[in-house]
Amino acid sequence: MQTAWGWLPAIYLFLGGTSVGALLVAAAFEFSGKRYQYNFCPTSLVGATVSGPLIILGALVLIFKLGAGLREPWRIFYMFTHFSSVMTWGVWIITFFITISLVYGFLEVMDTFPAAWDWLRARRWLRKAKFLWNLPIRRTKRLFAGVGLVLAVGVAAEQGSLISAVGPAIPFWSTRVLPFIPVPMMPVLFLVSALSAGLGLTVDLAATLAVGPMEQRVKSLPWIQMALIGVQTLLLGMLLITALVDGGSAAQSALEIIVGTYAVVFWVLIVFPGLLFPFIVYACAAGLGRHSLVSRVGSGVGIVVASLFLRYLILASGIYAAL
Amino acid sequence: MLPAHWPKWTVIFIALALAVFSILLALVLEPAARALMPQPTPTATLSTLIYAAPQSWECIFCHTSLEALRQTVSDWAELERLWIDPVYVHSTHGRLGCVTCHQGTGGTKDLAVAHQGLVKDPTLHFEGKCLPCHRDLPDEILRTRLRAPHSSVVHGLAQDLTCSDCHGRVGHGFDPVTGKVICSMSACIDCHRIRNLSEDCHVCHIGPHDVAGVIACNVCHVSIERWHRIRLADHPGVELVGGHAPIDCFDCHNWPNFGGLRYVCSDCHQRPHDFGDDNCERCHIPEGWNQWGQ
């Protein structure tokens, strides 16, 4: 067996996915008005602010993976000019996404902490930037959230598409949604997993630590999270079944995941902490209206860790097609 | 919950810390998790080949262009032999690059330097060139019902035989695996004759019919190129004449063992009238349903 890539691309995919998910959740709170229901919305604050740093960190990790790019950094700029390449589309989408997410994060901090805005305004070297002080923060923030939302979907889909594009060599990565539906599974799975990780980070972890059980603020949250886990489980199941039906090295990859070398990673480090445990916690939250803070934070940590393992598993289990 | 005196922005750093913590945790847990499962036996892989696709562009430029080849080759037959259809540059083997299998010197336009150390038939060194990718070669290919002496070749028992003897210009347009370009059986027959090997069908073909033990294949199968070309002159039991002569075996019989027939007309024909009985031959003759016998 020859597996494909190692940890660095998996870490990039994880950081990129979490960044995308966090921004999507923040944008959803922004557009649904939940952001302004209370004075302090930790979900929006964390979602908007961590998105930029996470994707930047991911991009840096990716540069370390580029052997030639690291030795001859000017080559990285060539990646902006090959418009027929999925990679170039990704480089442009990520570039815009980094910019937008940083600005969005900055505006969210300024909106949440008006004192910081006043402090900045008092800086002598910033006084001349009068246009800045006249900006309607919330409307501008909403604009950036909207653009960021579109770009976030683009980043998640591009990450999956990039993996799928390697498909002919590694059939598992280009497995279709269903054997008779010619749509690659990876972009869909990566987007749903990114959303799940974003909710885990911003709601289960950050918001629970900051203000307690979030379902008291947004009643539908546990149901949304359960639905997301359901969709993710369904997609994972379909991925494995389609790969098994396809046969060849795709089926070999699926078997490695289910009962082979990666079985412990799959069942113990993805299914349990990322799907099963959080589902039980959300079911308790939705049905009984209660759960312990530890279990909610634990489910957040579990989902985030599992999303990293999921990306690693997909990369590591990719087996080259027999020529 | 966080202590009340902690600033609200602390959660931002906790979230970032969790992302970094997840990475560190994963790096620790993953080897431990994998250690619990049996590891696969490492097998020879692509990495055992000196992968040189990027160095092959000069070879491809010349060998896919008749104009470029004409500058050094004038004989038309030789030109045809050396020319490679550009389509096959993107085939699975083509994407490996010429130098990976044929060696020589990549990345140069100098004809002499490029062909230095060239291996015309890489399959002569199949242990290092073909087997790293093509492992577990089957001796029986059930999909096409063929027998192939892969084990003998791989284990050196067929010393004068190598991959290209059967697989020919694989990578250059010949693709016996997908069947898009198949090997002519006359090539197999010629080779068997030269080597004084048996030409019996069973040597290479896995017959699907249980009658194969009692009837020689060539009683019915008359072509060595087209399996479906059949001669039914020796059809046992019922003589196939008239309207019965051109029909295919499995229009009447069940595949593969010819069962399912009672050898009466009503096996296939429905009686369109009330009079008479199932013995149609009282009136009809095989030359034509509308022709009546005596």
What is the structure's pLDDT at B43? 45
**pLDDT band with cut points at 50, 70 and 90 for residue A189:** very high
Quickly tell me which residue has 């059967």 as its tokens.
B166
**B96 and B54 in a common domain:** yes
Contact assignment for B37 to A264 by CB distance below 8 Å: yes
Q: Quote the domain boundaries for residue B70.
A: 47-120
- Give yes or no for A268 touching B (CB within 8 A): yes
Residue A295 in this model has a pLDDT that exceeds 60: yes
User: Cβ of B8 and A46 within 8 Å?
Assistant: no
Asked if the model's pLDDT at residue B288 lies above 90, the reply is no
The winner for highest mean pLDDT among A33-47, B79-93, B145-159 is: A33-47
Q: Per-residue pLDDT averaged across A44-48, rounded?
A: 95
B24 contacts: CB under 8 Å, gap ≥ 6: none
pLDDT at residue B285 tops 60: yes
Same domain as B154, residue B106: no
Query: Is the pLDDT assigned to residue A174 strictly greater than 90?
Result: no
Number of domains into which chain B is organized: 2
Is B17 at the interface with chain A, CB within 8 A? no
Please name the member of A49, A201, A261 whose beta carbon is closest to the beta carbon of B34: A261
Per CB-CB distance under 8 Å, the chain B contacts of A212 are 1
Stretch A286-300: mean pLDDT: 85
Tokens of A314: 């997909």
pLDDT digits (tens, 9 = 90+) for B103-139: 888 888 898 999 999 988 888 888 778 887 787 788 8
Kindly give the pairing relationship between strand B288-292 and strand B140-141: unpaired
Residue B182 has what pLDDT? 64
Q: Are residues B166 and B107 in the same domain?
A: no
How far apart are the CA of B147 and the nearest CA of chain A, in angstroms?
Answer: 20
The confidence score (pLDDT) of residue A321 equals 67
CA A201/CA B14 separation, integer angstroms: 10
Residues in chain A: 323
Residue B11 has pLDDT above 50, yes or no: yes
For the segment B69-97, the average pLDDT, to the nearest whole number, is: 85
- B155-207 residue pLDDT tens: 777 767 888 888 877 777 766 555 556 667 777 888 888 888 888 888 888 88
3 state DSSP class of B141: strand
Yes or no, beta carbons of B26 and A312 under 8 Å apart: yes
On whether any CB of chain A is under 8 Å from the CB of B38, the answer is yes
Q: What is the share, in percent, of chain B residues with pLDDT greater than 70?
A: 87
Q: Is A18 on the interface with B (CB under 8 A)?
A: yes
- B114 and B144, same domain (yes or no): no
Tell me: the pLDDT tens digits for A131-163? 778 888 899 999 999 999 999 999 988 888 888
| Residue that wins the pLDDT comparison between B69 and A77 | B69
Question: Is A268 in Cβ contact with B18 (below 8 Å)?
Answer: no
- Domain membership flag for residue B129: no
| Residue B271 falls inside a structural domain | no
User: What CATH number was assigned to the domain covering residues A7-316?
Assistant: 1.20.1630.10
With CA atoms as reference, the chain B residue closest to A293 would be: B1
- Window 123-182 of A: residues touching B by CB (8 A cutoff) are none
Residue A42 to residue B11, Cβ atoms within 8 A: yes
Rounded to a whole number of angstroms, the distance from the CA of B268 to the nearest CA of chain A is 37
Give the domain-ending residue among B120, B155, B174. B120
Chain mean position to CA A111:
24
Task: Check A201 against B15: CB less than 8 A apart.
Answer: yes
In chain A, residues with a C-beta closer than 8 Å to the C-beta of B93 are 323
Q: Which two tokens stand for residue B116?
A: 């230095």
Q: How far is A144 from chain B (nearest CA, A)?
A: 19
Tell if the CB–CB gap between A309 and B30 is shorter than 8 Å: yes
* Cα distance between residue B283 and residue B290, in whole Å: 10
Q: What is the pLDDT of residue A168?
A: 64
**Do B199 and B144 share a structural domain?**
yes
Q: Of the candidates B8, B22, B37, which has its C-beta nearest A260's C-beta?
A: B37
Contact residues, chain B, for A201 at CB < 8 Å: 15, 18-19
DSSP A60: H
For B43-79, the pLDDT digits (tens) are: 444 445 666 777 888 898 899 888 889 988 888 888 8
B119-128 burial string, b = 16+ CB within 10 Å, else e?
eeebbeebee
Q: Give yes or no: residues B62 and B116 share one domain.
A: yes
* Contact list, B18 vs chain A (CB under 8 Å): 201, 205, 300-301, 304
Give the Å distances, CA to CA, from A250 to A177, A247, B95, B141, B178: 13, 6, 20, 21, 18
- Domain coordinates in residue numbering, chain A: 7-316
| Integer Cα distance of A192 and A8 in angstroms | 21
B133/A201 CB distance under 8 A = no
Query: What local confidence, expressed as pLDDT, does residue A268 receive?
Result: 92
Indicate yes or no: CB of B9 within 8 angstroms of CB of A40: no
**Residue B160 within a domain:** yes
- Whether A86 contacts A154, CB under 8 Å: no
Is residue A183 helix, strand or coil?
Answer: strand
Percentage of chain A beyond pLDDT 90 is 49
pLDDT digit string (tens) for A208-253? 998 888 877 888 889 999 999 999 999 999 999 998 888 777 888 8
Residue B11 with chain A: CB contacts under 8 Å: 42, 45-46, 206-207, 209-210
Of A198-212, B10-24, B248-262, the least confident: B248-262
B198 in the same domain as B144: yes
**Distance between B269 CA and the closest CA of chain A, angstroms:** 39
Report the residue of chain B nearest A40, measured CA to CA: B8
Q: Is residue B98 part of a domain?
A: yes
Nearest residue of A to residue B96, measured between CA atoms: A323
- Give Cα A255 distance to the centre of its chain: 26
* Closest Cβ–Cβ partner in B26, B42, B46 for A320: B46
Answer whether A206 sits within 8 Å of B16, measured CB to CB: no
Instruction: Give A96-126 pLDDT, tens digit per residue.
Output: 999 999 999 999 999 999 898 888 888 888 7
Whether chain B has a CB inside 8 Å of the CB on A228: the answer is no
* Mean pLDDT over the full length of chain B: 80
User: Whole-number mean pLDDT of chain A?
Assistant: 87
* Confidence at A1, pLDDT banded by 50, 70, 90: very low
The pLDDT score that the predictor gives to residue A194 is 94
DSSP state of B283: T
Q: What is the pLDDT of residue B44?
A: 44
Residue B34: its chain A contacts at CB < 8 A?
A: 261-262, 264-265
To the nearest whole Å, the CA of A14 is away from the closest chain B CA by: 9
Q: Is the pLDDT of residue B218 over 50?
A: yes
Segment among A40-49, A208-217, B14-23 with least mean pLDDT: A208-217
The amino acid at residue A175 is T
User: Which of A7, A42, A208 has its CB closest to that of B27?
Assistant: A7
Contact B168, B174 (CB under 8 A): yes
